[in-house]
Structure 1
Amino acid sequence: MNKLDNREAVAKLDSENMLKLIEGLPEQCKEAHAIGKAAGISKIEGKISNIVFAGLGGSAIGADIVRVYLQNELALPVVVSRNYTLPDFAGGETLLFCASYSGNTEETLSSFEDGLKRGARIITMGSGGRLKELSGKNGFKHIVIPKGFPPRTAVGYMSIAVLAILAKLGLIKDKEAEVNAVSRALVELRDREIGIDVALDKNISKQLASKLVGKHCVIYGTSDTTEAVSVRWRGQIAENSKALSSSHVLPEMNHNEIVGWEFPKELLKNSNVIILRDRSDHARTKKRVEISKDIIKKSGAEIFEFERKDPSLLARLFSLIYIGDFTSFYLAILNGIDPTPVKNVDYLKSELTKS
């Protein structure tokens, strides 16, 4: 039996049951919408001219998904800030979401303080920690996310809950029906194409993971839709699989990175390219993808493409995320490593507390 088809062999490496957390994303999305809807936020006083999301890692990816999904619906500029300070334009007409799953991310706490000084209207999200304390102390609403998750596995909470809040504020239409469609699409995808009980010969994530072992992985998204998903894939391969990969976006990479597909030749031959596409991509972007594939193939790299057919953009984005999450898990197993621990992140945090 193939290693990835053997639950017992997988469980021996997966000591903290990352598999269960990944499997639970469809249910998490529905729960997240209920959390946001029940948050007790119905209006924000005064004019809102822009929205800023302050967060890092999984919290920021959730915001990226919201930004991409709403780009043709939300009539306000949306910026995702991954820094200690907010953009200079942020001020009294800014709706600021400060998101930290742990509640103790130092960059997010710093952004909260910055937003407080500037008079921004603030909503915080997380499972507790210092962020919740500061939010309550200053009279802001804190959205409580369930505890017990590595931050990267809370992407549903950190994105879908925001959609419910924005709808309650009257900034977008209610998304409950679409969130339910997302959940159904993910269940079907899990049970038929990528879940642990789907055998290797029918499992697109297991097959891809098998191809990625010992390879350098390059992930390309498109600026119209899948850019945020490509960043998610890169992060999951790093955190779960403990493997380096890179990501870029079309059409931007056509103006720089595409030239680099000449050297070093041995690295390029040992690379696999993943292209994440969407049917709503600009027609010229679609053409650029095809030409880029022709160029990349000359290097000897193997190319894998993923595109979903769901009617909803939100379902298509989350389906691509789900394929990547399972792929990164299976790659961890094939690499012979526990997917949950993030020792280098823990070391960084411990060293930062000393200064």
Structure 2
Amino acid sequence: MDMSLKSIISMLRDQLKPVPNRKPSKAIPYLKLALADQPQPEGIQVTWFGHSAFLLEIEGKRLLFDPMFGDAPSPPPGSYFTGKRFSGGLPLAAADFPAIDAVIQSHDHFDHLHEGTVRKLKDKAGRFIVPLGVGKRLRKWGVDPAKIAELDWGDELHLAGLTLACMPARHFSGRGLFDRNSTLWCSWAVLGKKSRAFFSGDGGYGPHFKEIGAKYGPFDVTLMECGQYDERWAAIHMMPEETVQAHLDVQGDLLIPVHWGAFMLAYHAWTDPVERAVKAAQAKGVRIATPQIGETVSVGRDVDHPAAPWWRD
């Protein structure tokens, strides 16, 4: 992530010049979500909240990943440049969630770990499962230390019939000027008795995806980072074509691109990630789902998955 002066100057220049379609011309649609007290007893369902926040219902358990439900992906003054959430609201407010089995974080960046959301979920979640060092953030915000589990790469945690494996990612961490890489970042493999899911977290493309696939694949569904990329930071964010290749590397069946559709963090058009991912998936024969925010995807070979290009409207 060390950048030359030339790269920094070019980024400042890009920040000031207008980029066509960098954000939607109006608030993008979302579907309201009503959760029953109990999740589906079998199989997998995924509900995307925009960016990398999603609810994974797997074999009767509810896992909420990277629940950043705030309006902006960074505090002031950064929020003046990133703007606010593209959608006019969220499918379900943090305060309205029923009990969930666990909140799971990939790393501590502001666009993934949100203090206000954590405070509203701290009494609803049975566990908070995070990479090493992130627990100190949660304890500061009032989460019961007994609920927090911190994992290193390669560690596994057993949760009510599921196995959660903390796996590598090529990224970085930190929430301030002086705490860079003071906590760990990761991807997650979720293994049930009959179902398997993978979440890439944030990170650049690399050989770790094939290693994860060899150890834990195949996966019924992958949620892969797809957005906020740029050639200048390609080491820590994948291009959409790499998103599709990473899905193949981990031996995924259905691909759901995430890390797009919520915030203006890079300089590409807001629809560029999904357009390029769909094109790459079609070229490689990959099954890809493109749900609206709040739309639940039922995962399985015998069920239809949302594929309409809703963002073009």
- Of Structure 1 and Structure 2, the greater helix share is in 1
Larger radius of gyration: 1
Q: Given the two structures, how large is their TM-score scaled by the length of structure 1?
A: 0.31
TM-score relative to the length of structure 2? 0.34
Please state which structure has a larger fraction of its residues in strand. Answer: 2
